[in-house]
Chains A and B, each alone.
Chain A
Amino acid sequence: MTGPRRSHHGQIRVLSDACRGCHLCQLACSFYKTGVFRLSNSRVGIRRNVDKIERYGVSLLDTCDDCGWCVRFCGYGALQMVGGKLP
């Protein structure tokens, strides 16, 4: 198990428009925080906007500690680390 741990002092910035709904961030968060893959274990929330094609709303829960694993697995730039290093 590589996480969870806090290895930096950055903050995660969310850009929902860039999200493509791949859910990799949620899966990474769930895995490194709880050791299993479960969407509700994640501290990242993703909601499909059913009125628009493939548009998603991304949010971070209060329990997020900015560890950055979600950012590492976001290939689309919807989650970005500001002022810190990725795990």
Chain B
Amino acid sequence: MRKGALSGYAGNMLHVDLSEGTVHRLPITHELIVNYIGGFGFTAKLVYDFVPAGIDPLSPGNALVIGAPVLGGTFAPTGGRTVVMAKSPLTGSLGISHMGEPGAMMKFAGCDQLVVTGKAVTPSYIKIQNGDVQIAQADHLWGLDIAATTDALWRELGGEFYVSCIGPAGEHLVRFANIISNKFSTAGRCGLGAVMGSKNLKAIAVFGDGEIGVARRSRFGRIANEAFRKLMESQSPPLDIRRTYGSLSRLSYDYPRENWRLRYRRDGRAVGPTEAFDAVQFDRRLRERNVTCFACPIGCKQEVRLKQGEFAGSNFAISCPMGTMIRPFSLQLAVDKYEDVARCAQVNNMYGMDAHVIDHAIKLFIELQHQGIVTREMTDGLVLDWGDTTVIMELLRRTALREGVGDVLAEGPVGACRKLGLDPDEYVIHAKGNPISVLMDPRIRFGPEVLGAFVNPRRGHFDFHRPALAVAAMSADLPYERVAEACKRLGVPEGEMRQVITGEGQSCCDVARLTKYSEDYSIVTYCLGVCEMAFSCGAYDIEICAHIFSALTGIELSSRELLQAGERIWTLQRMFNIREGDTRKDDRIARIYTQQKLRTLGKEYPAFSEAAFTRTLDEYYALRGWDEEGTPTKATLARLSLQNV
């Protein structure tokens, strides 16, 4: 190990200014580690420090920060999860997105965090190799899709490089463009690919052969071995189920099964069952084999091979078969044939767009054309309809290239409504511009995933709330002791256990309290780089997180100290959004939930009570130490050593 190097960290945070063509190295201090742990926490701190308040997200002043996790580069299983942040061009708030790579390779290349500011004069890519940073010209890559860009850089630089790039959508500043690493690992949410495009930055290629030191080897090895064993022996769900069905395996754990065989419309109303697009059929008809992120023994990503139709024989990787393939193109847009669903997902990926947003946008336009609001002239003659694969593929192309009607779709469903002079709250279920998954609905069940979608700094997603969702689902079926065990893994104190689980008067769990604990725990795991797939099998409870962090770095932090750092990071993210002008109104529940009934499979659910949401939000703010407007109080900021933000 290098003399004086920090165990567990590469030891460098790099700031690349594309306007100036300069590279600066920022120090990692003991104080920074104790307060922000590393990985996600460092990224949150850097994006707070580097992004000026009120800036246009697509202007050179926005900062794109990519964070490598604390466990990245070690054999702690699933520890390579990487985070990307910037001010989001989709929501105007903090943009956060995760992917399984390339964080570990960043650390081998000598880089814990990469901050990119400014704008290159011509198309460029950043190459980082063993601590050396180059800004190289990328004229020959501009216009290429994700796969072609990655292949070109692998040919130029070698297959050992980890390539993260944008497709045509990022170049054309589509507000929900994504970043894809090594062709499959996707930082999909919040339009951070458009931030790259706005900087003329086509790709980041990383390789290194540096070393990651370990402070307490025997202890670290023992904990990592145990985590590996737990993952391999997991029964919730079993490993082979996770591998075979990827994110589909979580469906029966996350949602009532009757929820996901439906075809949805934008108001959440199911209009009839699709062809049974279930996990078994996915395996039989499309799946080739599983694909994995760095240091992950689960391998939940999937390689798909088309066996029939025009594109028979072609194969490609899908990061999330549920979120990027089946939900958007089967449930949302009603494409029926398996091969067509997969083909839509592949084309969308190659353009580099967030499937969670484009499906809502296209769905909106289909309905608006049926209502006569969007005319055929506006779509250049295209007749929009459910399940029309040819038209959907053409809309994907036009959106990615901002051609014709695609220029409106590229604003996202909320931005598109505004361009058309419509009130987006009447047409889109969203949280500050980020559409919300149709698979969850408070009219059927109100749980932490719903509250989470609105209080999450990146909005519209419950990536910090999956542990809470798991606990909430358990609380409906399992004995108190089993649920308490899961809560303990999250770090819920004994004194609050009964309150969290029984909700004291609420229907199941205490949604606000469970949401808060889930967020603090998830922040810790994201700092370490642990994938959410690892929570349910118990491989990384909060005590194990503390032990493995201390063994790797030699810095002793208790689980309580880690959770407090998690709370600090969560609050700092809130302050980022407060600085951008967010208030309580930006946390309000989507109007369609509270004003429209939900009819599905012969059942009718009443509109959700806005008062119930308001009450839960009040409780949540109080637990967080935020005032009625959702602003952290001075006392809270002082308690978390955030007085200066």
Contacts and interface: CB of A to CB of B under 8 A. Distances in A.
Interface of A: 1-2, 20-24, 27-28, 31-32, 35-41, 47-50, 53-54, 72-73, 75-76
A63 B292 CA distance: 28
B228 A73 contact: yes
Contacts of B210: 38
Contact of A37 (B74, B231, B298): B74
Residue in B151, B210, B211, B214 whose Cβ sees the most chain A Cβ within 10 Å: B211
B232 A31 contact: no
A50 B159 contact: yes
B208 to A, nearest CB: 9
Contacts of B74: 27, 31, 37
Contacts of B222: 2
B160 A48 contact: yes
Contacts of B294: 22-23
A48 B161 CA distance: 10
A62 to B, nearest CB: 20
20 contacts: A1-B218, A2-B218, A21-B292, A22-B294, A22-B297, A24-B295, A24-B296, A24-B297, A27-B74, A28-B75, A31-B217, A35-B217, A36-B213, A37-B73, A47-B159, A49-B159, A53-B184, A53-B317, A73-B75, A76-B299
B346 to A, nearest CB: 11
Contacts of A48: 154, 159-160
A21 B317 CA distance: 14
Given A35-B217, A53-B316, A22 B211 contact: no
A24 B183 contact: no
A22 B293 contact: yes
B453 to A, nearest CB: 31
Contact of A1 (B221, B299, B315, B317): B221
Contacts of A28: 75
B75 A37 contact: yes
Contacts of B298: 75
B108 interface: yes
Interface of B: 1, 73-75, 77, 104, 108, 151, 154-155, 159-160, 183-184, 209-214, 217-218, 221-222, 225, 228, 231-232, 239, 290-299, 303, 315-317
A53 B183 CA distance: 8
Given A1-B218, A54-B184, A37 B228 contact: no
**Considering the complex of A and B, which 10 residue pairs feature the smallest CB-CB distances, nearest first?**
A75-B297, A38-B211, A27-B75, A48-B159, A50-B159, A37-B212, A50-B154, A20-B292, A36-B211, A22-B292
Given A20-B290, A54-B291, A41 B214 contact: no
A38 B154 contact: no
B221 A2 contact: yes
A50 B290 contact: no
Nearest to A47: B159
A53 B73 contact: no
A49 B211 CA distance: 24
Contacts of A35: 1, 214, 217
A40 B294 CA distance: 16
Contact of B299 (A20, A53, A73): A20
A52 to B, nearest CB: 9
B611 to A, nearest CB: 49
Contacts of B228: 24, 72-73, 75
Nearest to A34: B211
Nearest to A18: B289
Nearest to B297: A75
Contacts of B184: 53-54
A31 B292 CA distance: 21
Contacts of A54: 184, 291, 303, 317
Contacts of B1: 35-36
